[in-house]
Amino acid sequence: MESFAIGVDLGGTNLRVALVTSDGKLLEKLTTGTEVARGRDRVITEMSNDIRSLAEKFSTAGTLLGIGIGVPGIIDMSTGFLRESPNLPGWENYPVRDEIERRLGTRVVLENDANAAALGEKWLGAGTEVDDLAMLTLGTGVGGGLILDGRIWHGMTGMAGELGHFSVEPDGHPCGCGSLGCVEQYASATAIVRMARETSKSSNQLRRAVHDNPEFSAKIVYQLALQGDEAAQQIFQQVGWALGIALAGLINGLNLPMYVIGGGVASAWDAFAPAMFEEIALRSFVYRATAPGQTGKIERRHTIVTRALLGSDAGLFGAARLPMLSAEVRDHDAMRKRA
Amino acid sequence: MESFAIGVDLGGTNLRVALVTSDGKLLEKLTTGTEVARGRDRVITEMSNDIRSLAEKFSTAGTLLGIGIGVPGIIDMSTGFLRESPNLPGWENYPVRDEIERRLGTRVVLENDANAAALGEKWLGAGTEVDDLAMLTLGTGVGGGLILDGRIWHGMTGMAGELGHFSVEPDGHPCGCGSLGCVEQYASATAIVRMARETSKSSNQLRRAVHDNPEFSAKIVYQLALQGDEAAQQIFQQVGWALGIALAGLINGLNLPMYVIGGGVASAWDAFAPAMFEEIALRSFVYRATAPGQTGKIERRHTIVTRALLGSDAGLFGAARLPMLSAEVRDHDAMRKRA
């Protein structure tokens, strides 16, 4: 009989719930607006209903291994509380995991959404061939996740992987985290819009776009860059510069085989990747010693910096993977006890 | 019967060979000048002779588990070659490990010296209570080592742990590694001397020290700082600033329980630590969430940034530890096969 898990990706705008088999097939996905404004309890009720309805629908098809939930915030892994979550007001210091477990009567694994995305890419995306990777998710902010030896690296209190908060410019733009010049301030969608407003004086097109379009976004800056607008192109060079500095530090420090760039801004890869690779090569002798050659042929012991493959589903697949890994650990322990 | 290992610390100036028991007692230490100038083969002969003489002297006292050698350079762990070693000219692309194994007829574990120091501090120094730590060794350069789950984190090609080459000032001082503004350019003994020369115009004392003393060194700058020379004090604030930025990035990325500062410059802790902690607190929300309280009382789940405890012996103890860990792995494998 097949086994599967339910993954939940709780974003600031969408709530997505999916049933995924243990070999990575997505059987069904439910998407609803999170409507965070309606409050924590409504969102949790909605989520629980979606999970229950999927579980019931497939109850005769196989074994449900558990539920994994990716959440935009910092999770205390030992208590299952959200420690910080700017995008989910009212969720802090609330026993999220226990509350959902109580409602569903099933074990729930809670995880930071960027960590879940990294696990998803490791499982079914760019990282299927490696055991270790770092992922940067470029969205409203810049999230990060580290996979070491095939597992999410949580660190001491579950706060590891905050790769969006490396300082790349010590006296740079103030960051919501309290620091200055974090990579998030140059490589997130929010930062792209800010930089576009700051530099809109130097480009007629950019100025017009900023003023005329009430929904001015990073995507519009990218379209202008594609159309040859130099000011817009320079903004993406800044994105690449910031990512390159952060990645060079990661490569020198961790010497992983793979670094994955995901999130919405990763769609602008062509616009920022050249500056990013230039900066990595300048700043990381570890990269220079292990970079793929000019042929582009990728071999073992090459350092790969690449785009994510699963798009916005990375976090959803990663969330579904969480209870499967816990189950593997349990199986392994059981085997050892039996041996 | 007791078991022990021989550790070797091959520095640019000294060659040290020690016999250490598996519970961490140093039974004997031989120190000779490396005299790197006399050439690679002379140094290897000297090292082999020292190892042989210690092994023979204690041959009836217990079991020799193996030999570990810490080397200032980047080691290809799979081949035992030195890939890069600025302080050991002529050693690159030479089969160091195999050559010593051939001469001694014993298994040899080769390791980067900063990695060995981190392992030493984990085993017998500041890190005995933790499984994970990062260590920065502030000497001629800035070396780094990462211990994850009790083991040295080598990364894909053995080049991990190059923590001295995080960019802390993107357009900063050029570094020997090819990058700009590496932490090594602000926190090494070499950098302190350079910064003192650069700023000597603003301090009479500093100018006199630079010009009058043919052996002007980081130590003299520290003495001036202790005596209240503001220019000298500012140099150490710069050291703390650079370390703080690098450590904040590490804390945000890895969320380890401990970060250890060693090497000769660590003796100036009082002069650079205040600026370092200020910078860490500013730049790492992970640190702020886990910092020890004002009481200074250290608890589980606190992030500790502290001085190394083993001084210049950290690398020597760590080197001796290497064959012990390999032996443990072998024992464990043998047990599993028997089970």
B62 pLDDT above the threshold of 80: yes
The pLDDT value given to residue A210: 87
Residue B81 near residue B75, CB atoms below 8 Å:
yes
Do B155 and B271 lie in one domain? The reply is yes
| Listed residue (B318, B322, B168, B163) closest to B254, CA to CA | B163
Concatenated DSSP letters for B156-205? SSS----GGG-BSSTT-SB-TTS-BSBTHHHHSHHHHHHHHHHHGGG-HH
Minimal Cβ distance to A285: which of B158, B178, B249: B178
Substitution target in B74, B133, B157, B180 with the highest count of A β-carbons within 10 Å is: B157
Residue A139 near residue A93, CB atoms below 8 Å:
no
Minimal Cβ distance to A178: which of B167, B245, B282: B282
The pLDDT value given to residue A271: 98
**B293 pairs with which residues across the strands?**
none
Quick: pLDDT tens for B281-292.
999 999 999 999
Residue A284 near residue A99, CB atoms below 8 Å:
no
- The chain-wide mean pLDDT, for chain B, equals 91
The pLDDT value given to residue A295: 64
Residue A89 near residue A73, CB atoms below 8 Å:
no
CA A196, CA A199: separation in Å to the nearest integer?
A: 5
Residue B186 near residue B242, CB atoms below 8 Å:
yes
Helix/strand/coil for A203: coil
Helix/strand/coil for A16: strand
B165 pLDDT above the threshold of 70: yes
The pLDDT value given to residue B250: 98
| Identity of the amino acid at A85 | S
| Listed residue (B247, B289, B304, B299) closest to A84, CA to CA | B289
Domain with A15 in it: 2-119+315-338
The pLDDT value given to residue A329: 59
Interface of B with A in 165-184 (CB under 8 A): 165-170, 177-180
Confidence of residue B182 (pLDDT cuts 50, 70, 90): very high
How close A100 comes to chain B (CA, Å)?
A: 26
Q: Which of A210-224, B130-144, B229-243 has the lowest mean pLDDT?
A: A210-224
- Residue B125 resides in a domain: no
> Which of B103 and B335 is assigned the larger pLDDT?
B103
How close B47 comes to chain A (CA, Å)?
A: 29
Do A330 and A283 lie in one domain? The reply is no
In A, which residues are within 8 Å of B74 by CB distance?
289
What does the pLDDT average to over B100-107? Answer: 90
The pLDDT value given to residue B175: 95
The pLDDT value given to residue A220: 95
Do B297 and B150 lie in one domain? The reply is yes
- The answer to whether the Cα torsion of A263, A264, A267, A270 is positive or negative is negative
In A, which residues are within 8 Å of B178 by CB distance?
282-283, 285, 288
Interface of A with B in 236-275 (CB under 8 A): 241, 245, 248-250, 252-257
| Listed residue (A40, A28, B81, A2) closest to A10, CA to CA | A40
CA B72, CA B86: separation in Å to the nearest integer?
A: 8
Q: Does A298 touch chain B (CB under 8 A)?
A: no
pLDDT < 50 regions, chain A: 339
Q: How many CB atoms lie within 10 A of CB B238?
A: 19
Say yes or no for a CB contact (<8 Å) between B156 and A290: yes
Helix/strand/coil for A255: coil
The pLDDT value given to residue B328: 67
CA B145, CA B162: separation in Å to the nearest integer?
A: 7
Query: Cα dist. A204→A190, A198, A210, A230, A242 in Å?
Result: 21, 13, 10, 11, 26
| Identity of the amino acid at A310 | L
In CATH, what number is assigned to the domain containing residue A11?
Answer: 3.30.420.40
Query: Which helix or strand (DSSP H or E) is residue B100 part of?
Result: helix B96-104
Do B140 and B280 lie in one domain? The reply is yes
Do A135 and A228 lie in one domain? The reply is yes
- Residue B124 resides in a domain: no
How close A227 comes to chain B (CA, Å)?
A: 30
Do B88 and B134 lie in one domain? The reply is no
Helix/strand/coil for A318: helix
Residue B100 near residue B177, CB atoms below 8 Å:
no
Do B90 and B145 lie in one domain? The reply is no
Confidence of residue B81 (pLDDT cuts 50, 70, 90): confident
- Cβ partners under 8 Å of residue A86, min gap 6: A73, A176
Residue A281 near residue A222, CB atoms below 8 Å:
no
Q: How many CB atoms lie within 10 A of CB A174?
A: 11
The pLDDT value given to residue B189: 96
Say yes or no for a CB contact (<8 Å) between A290 and B248: no
CA B50, CA B10: separation in Å to the nearest integer?
A: 12
Helix/strand/coil for A137: strand
Do B227 and B85 lie in one domain? The reply is no
The phi, psi pair for B127, rounded to 5°, reads -105, 20
CA B317, CA B70: separation in Å to the nearest integer?
A: 10
How close B267 comes to chain A (CA, Å)?
A: 24
Token pair of A176 as six digits: 């919501």
How close A277 comes to chain B (CA, Å)?
A: 14
Q: Which of A271-280, B27-36, B129-138 has the lowest mean pLDDT?
A: B27-36
Residue A116 near residue A135, CB atoms below 8 Å:
no
B61 pLDDT above the threshold of 80: yes
Say yes or no for a CB contact (<8 Å) between A289 and B83: yes
Quick: pLDDT tens for A280-321.
999 999 999 999 976 667 777 899 999 999 998 999 999 999
Substitution target in B154, B162, B169, B305 with the highest count of A β-carbons within 10 Å is: B162
Do B220 and B274 lie in one domain? The reply is yes
| Identity of the amino acid at B185 | Q
Substitution target in A165, A168, A182, A338 with the highest count of B β-carbons within 10 Å is: A165
Quick: pLDDT tens for A15-58.
999 999 999 999 999 998 866 667 888 889 999 999 999 999 99
The pLDDT value given to residue B330: 58
In B, which residues are within 8 Å of A159 by CB distance?
252, 255, 286, 289-290
Do B105 and B27 lie in one domain? The reply is yes
Say yes or no for a CB contact (<8 Å) between A148 and B146: no
Helical packing angle, A40-57 and A96-104, nearest 10°:
40
Burial classification of residue B96, based on how many CB atoms lie within 10 Å of its CB (0-12 exposed, 13-18 middle, 19 or more buried): buried
In A, which residues are within 8 Å of B170 by CB distance?
168-169, 241, 245
Minimal Cβ distance to A252: which of B166, B283, B301: B166
Q: How many domains does chain A have?
A: 2
Do B103 and B180 lie in one domain? The reply is no
CA B97, CA A291: separation in Å to the nearest integer?
A: 26
Say yes or no for a CB contact (<8 Å) between A285 and B253: no
CA A112, CA A120: separation in Å to the nearest integer?
A: 12
Residue A304 near residue A298, CB atoms below 8 Å:
yes
Do B263 and B323 lie in one domain? The reply is no
